[in-house]
C-alpha cells in the first residue's frame, strides 16, 4: 500500500576512539609534513580497536538512531520491519552480519540483510528501504559501517592516507505529510571501471589460491581516473534527480556528498553550483569510511545544521565497482 510520505525519524553515528593523525602515516611512509592534507583535505581518521568487528561499531550508531526515533515520534523497535547493513567489511563472508546486528539491537520483527555497494552502499540501501517503508507501512533501519583500516596497505599512500573506520545509521518511518521523504533517486553503475579500486585477493576469484597467506589488501590502480569518473557519476546523478523533482541546486538546503576526498567533494559541489556553506563534511577529522560517510556526516552535523521540516537534502556517492548515484529527500 502506498503511504503519504516518509521521514528520517532518527539518525546516529559512531567513530572508534583511536585517532590516527597524518603525522603517523607521513612518518611511516617518509612523506613531507602536510603532504596528505594538501592532497586529500584529511587531517586525521579513526581506527577500530583490535578485536572490534563491524557489528561492534555499527551497534552504537544504530542504537543512537533508534533511541532518537523513539524520543522524536514514539517509534517502538517492534515497528522496525527491515534492517539493511551496507558494508564492504562484514564480520564474516558467511553468514551476513545484519541478522546479528538486528538481534543485538532487540529487533524481533525485523528482516535483515547485508548490502555490498562499496562507497555507494548506503545510498542503495536507503533507496531500497524507502520503497519498503512506503509499501509495508513499517519502519526500516539503514546502517552503514566499515573497518577499512585492516584492508589498506600500510605502505601505500593512496589507500592509507584516505581510508578509515566509522558507522552511521538512519531510521526511515512512515509519515502523514505528503511530499516528504524520497523525492527522486538515480542509481548508477559502470562496470568498465571494475578494477580501479579492488581488494583483488579475495572472494571467489582469488589470484593466489586458498593457501595464500596474509590479509588481502586494497589496491587503487589509477587515482586520476577514479577522481574523474567519480565526479562525473556524482554530478550527473545529482542533475538527474534535481531535474526529476523539478528543483534547482539553489533549492538544496543541505548537500551531503560521499566523503571520498576534499578534491572530489569540492569538484562535485562546484559543478552543481552549491556553496560550501550548504555542503556537509566530516572529512577533515574522520577521513573516508566508504559507505558510512553519508549517514555518519548527516548525523554528526545535525547539531550544527539544525535540520528543519521542509529542508531538502541531496545525497550523492560514487565508489568501487563503479557504483554510485544520488538521492533527493525532503525532511
Which of 78, 86, 179 shows the shortest CA–CA distance to 134? 179
- Model pLDDT, residue 212: 53
Q: Whose grid coordinates read 583500516?
A: 149
* Distance, first Cα to last Cα, the chain: 21
Q: Say how far apart CA 145 and CA 87 lie, in whole Å.
A: 5
Strand partners, 174: 6
Using omega within 30 degrees of 0 as the cis cutoff, is the peptide bond preceding 322 cis? Answer: yes
**Cell representation of residue 232:** 562525473
List phi, psi (to 5°) of 209.
Answer: 85, 160
In this prediction, residue 203 carries a pLDDT of: 72
Handedness of CA 314, 101, 323, 4 (dihedral sign): negative
d(CA 305, CA 248): 21
Full pLDDT tens readout for the chain, 331 residues: 456 899 999 999 999 999 999 999 999 999 999 999 999 999 999 999 999 999 999 999 999 999 999 999 999 999 999 999 999 999 998 999 999 999 999 998 889 999 999 999 999 999 999 999 999 999 999 999 999 999 998 998 989 999 999 999 999 999 999 999 999 999 999 898 888 777 777 777 766 555 455 577 888 777 788 889 999 999 999 999 999 999 999 999 999 999 999 999 999 999 999 999 999 999 999 999 999 999 999 999 999 999 999 999 999 999 988 999 999 999 9
Distance CA 140, CA 132 (A): 8
Reduced to 3 states (helix: H, G, I; strand: E, B; else coil), residue 113 is strand
Active site residues: 119, 258, 288
Q: Rounded to an integer, what distance in angstroms lies between the CA atom of residue 81 and that of residue 74?
A: 16
What CATH number was assigned to the domain covering residues 181-330? 3.40.47.10
**Class of 5-175 in CATH:** alpha beta
Q: For the chain, give the number of residues.
A: 331
State whether the Cα torsion 174-177-181-183 is positive or negative. Answer: positive
Q: How far apart are CA 261 and CA 258, in angstroms?
A: 8
Q: Where in the chain is the domain with CATH 3.40.47.10?
A: 5-175, 181-330
Parallel, antiparallel, or unpaired: how do β-strands 197-198 and 44-47 relate?
Answer: unpaired
Amino acid at each position: 500500500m502506498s503511504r503519504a510520505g516518509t521521514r528520517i525519524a532518527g539518525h546516529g553515528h559512531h567513530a572508534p576512539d583511536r585517532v590516527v593523525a597524518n603525522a603517523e602515516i607521513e612518518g611511516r611512509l617518509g612523506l613531507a609534513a602536510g603532504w596528505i592534507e594538501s592532497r586529500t583535505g584529511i587531517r586525521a581518521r579513526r581506527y577500530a580497536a583490535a578485536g572490534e568487528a563491524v557489528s561492534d561499531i555499527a551497534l552504537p550508531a544504530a542504537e543512537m538512531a533508534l533511541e532518537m526515533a523513539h524520543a522524536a515520534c514514539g517509534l517502538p523497535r517492534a515497528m522496525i520491519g527491515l534492517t539493511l547493513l551496507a558494508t564492504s567489511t562484514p564480520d564474516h563472508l558467511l553468514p551476513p552480519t545484519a541478522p546479528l546486528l538486528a538481534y543485538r539491537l532487540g529487533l524481533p520483527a525485523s528482516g535483515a540483510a547485508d548490502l555490498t555497494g562499496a562507497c555507494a552502499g548506503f545510498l542503495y540501501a536507503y533507496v531500497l528501504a524507502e520503497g519498503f517503508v512506503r509499501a509495508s507501512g513499517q519502519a526500516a533501519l539503514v546502517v552503514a559501517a566499515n573497518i577499512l583500516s585492516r584492508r589498506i596497505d600500510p605502505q601505500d599512500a593512496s589507500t592509507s592516507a584516505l581510508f578509515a573506520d566509522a558507522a552511521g545509521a538512519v531510521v526511515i518511518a512512515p509519515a502523514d505529510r505528503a511530499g516528504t521523504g524520497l523525492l527522486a533517486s538515480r542509481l548508477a553503475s559502470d562496470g568498465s571501471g571494475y578494477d580501479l579500486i579492488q581488494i583483488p585477493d579475495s572472494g571467489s576469484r582469488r589470484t593466489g589460491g586458498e593457501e595464500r597467506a596474509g590479509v588481502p589488501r586494497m589496491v587503487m590502480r589509477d587515482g586520476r581516473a577514479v577522481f574523474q569518473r567519480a565526479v562525473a557519476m556524482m554530478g550527473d546523478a545529482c542533475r538527474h534527480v534535481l531535474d526529476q523533482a523539478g528543483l534547482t541546486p539553489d533549492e538544496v538546503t543541505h548537500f551531503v556528498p560521499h566523503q571520498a576526498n576534499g578534491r572530489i567533494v569540492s569538484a562535485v559541489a562546484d559543478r552543481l553550483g552549491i556553496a560550501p556553506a550548504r555542503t556537509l563534511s566530516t572529512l577533515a577529522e574522520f577521513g573516508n569510511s566508504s559507505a558510512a560517510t553519508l549517514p555518519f556526516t548527516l548525523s554528526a552535523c545535525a547539531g550544527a545544521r539544525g535540520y528543519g521540516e521542509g529542508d531538502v537534502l541531496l545525497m550523492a556517492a560514487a565508489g568501487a565497482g563503479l557504483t554510485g548515484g544520488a538521492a533527493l529527500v525532503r525532511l
